[in-house]
Amino acid sequence: MRTFLFLIALMAVVSCKETSKTEEITSTQAENTILQNDNPLIMEGENHFKDIQQVTFGGDNAEAYWSFDDKQLVFQSNNTAWDVECDQMFLMNNGDSFRESVPKMISTGKGRTTCAYFLPDNEHIIYASTHLAMDDCPDTPLKENGKYVWPIYDSYDIFVADLEGNITAQLTNEKGYDAEPTVSPQGDKIVFTSDRSGDLELYTMDIDGSNVKQITYELGYDGGAFFSPDGSQLIFRSSRPKTEEEIKEYKDLLKVGLVQPTEMELYICNADGSDLRQLTQLGNANWSPFFLPDGKRVLFSSNFEAERGFPFNLYMINTDGTGLERITHGETFDAFPVFSNNGKYLAFSSNRNNGGGRDTNLFIAEWQD
């Protein structure tokens, strides 16, 4: 899952790393430096943000994904003020703000949901849900033997729903975990993560759920995949164990439906899984990647500079591994960057402006290179 379960607990447990890697980060050239405006939501040094708007104001809100026409977004939230106990899917129009209003819920309200994404007709979404197995929220273990873990619910399947919340199709029905679906910009393919092979691998299928193909095969958790703008490549994050001890720990946790996602790097491959290569070698957790509209750069969240597991900030890197640049300058958490299809706006989640609490809210920034 790309889900928000990853966020707060991880910041407290990720191991310390060297901070010398910060020397690799490129500075914005002086002649390209953009004067900061008066928007208090934009922090010093966030020169790629021309403007920014806060969308939500409470709870944990994440993974906002744009409709193909950029008029709407779907996102997940566990805001108890909206009468939910765990993540459900909500709909918003581009430009909405929910300081005092409640967005429209478009999942069933049962079980736990994650990873919604619009289909190309702008009238349907796909998302993963446990609602066939249970009406209530499943348990959420956060630690195993003192280490942070992430539950991999075997009751997740991928569904299609209309914008009234009606389930119109079920795309997966294999035993085990099927989740994290995203749709190609061409609207013809879906990539998702499944453990049907006995490991957590990436698969693709046609938009109707047919023609399922496994595209990754190496031991480890491959997930959170997104297509490049032309649909030719995939970017994803993976925690791939190497030593005997790491492999044993990974397999033992997976047997009980858990993973430990505190050490992850980004990988890139063709849409059929060929030409796979590791993009980052930064250490700690590098995740939630998304291509920029030019297809030559990737935004992602990382805590590789952190000494105590946080902060997480957004970074940008070229697809050849060069040009690492820090984009946000928060003190706690920025993640889930997603560009609008027209490339003008960036939706992301952040702990900024939450009064020092734990709420993580959605923000939409006007982007400038």
Q: Taking a C-beta distance cutoff of 8 angstroms, is the pair 142, 9 a contact?
A: yes
Which residues fall within 8 angstroms of residue 25, CB to CB, at 6 or more apart? 315, 324, 325, 326
Distance of alpha carbon 145 from alpha carbon 256, whole angstroms: 13
For the chain, the domains span 4-367
Instruction: Show Cβ contacts of residue 87 under 8 Å, excluding neighbours closer than 6 positions.
Output: 3, 4, 60, 76, 77, 78, 112, 113, 114
Instruction: Indicate the average pLDDT of the chain.
Output: 90
Query: For residues 70 and 340, is the Cβ–Cβ distance under 8 A?
Result: yes
Q: Which of 112, 107, 152 is nearest to 130 (CA)?
A: 112
pLDDT of residue 143: 74
Instruction: Name the strand (E) or helix (H) holding 347.
Output: strand 345-350
Cβ pair 118, 163 in contact under 8 A = no
pLDDT tens string 5-64? 545 444 433 333 333 343 344 444 333 333 446 899 999 999 999 999 999 999 999 999
Contact 299, 30 (CB under 8 A): no
CA angle 204, 210, 211 (to 5 degrees): 55
Please state, in angstroms and rounded to a whole number, the distance separating the CA atoms of residues 350 and 328: 10
Range scoring the smallest mean pLDDT among 80-84, 260-264, 361-365: 260-264
Residue written as token pair 């952190």: 306
Q: Which CATH number fits domain 4-367: 2.120.10.30, 1.20.81.30, 2.40.30.110, 1.10.287.3510?
A: 2.120.10.30
- Rg over alpha carbons for the chain, rounded to the nearest Å, is 19
Phi, psi of 256 (to 5 degrees): -110, 20
- For residue 141, name the pLDDT band (cuts at 50, 70, 90): confident
Nearest to 122 by CA among 94, 162, 77: 162
How long, in residues, is the chain?
Answer: 369
Q: For the segment 257-274, what is each residue's pLDDT rounded down to a tens digit? A: 999 988 999 999 999 999
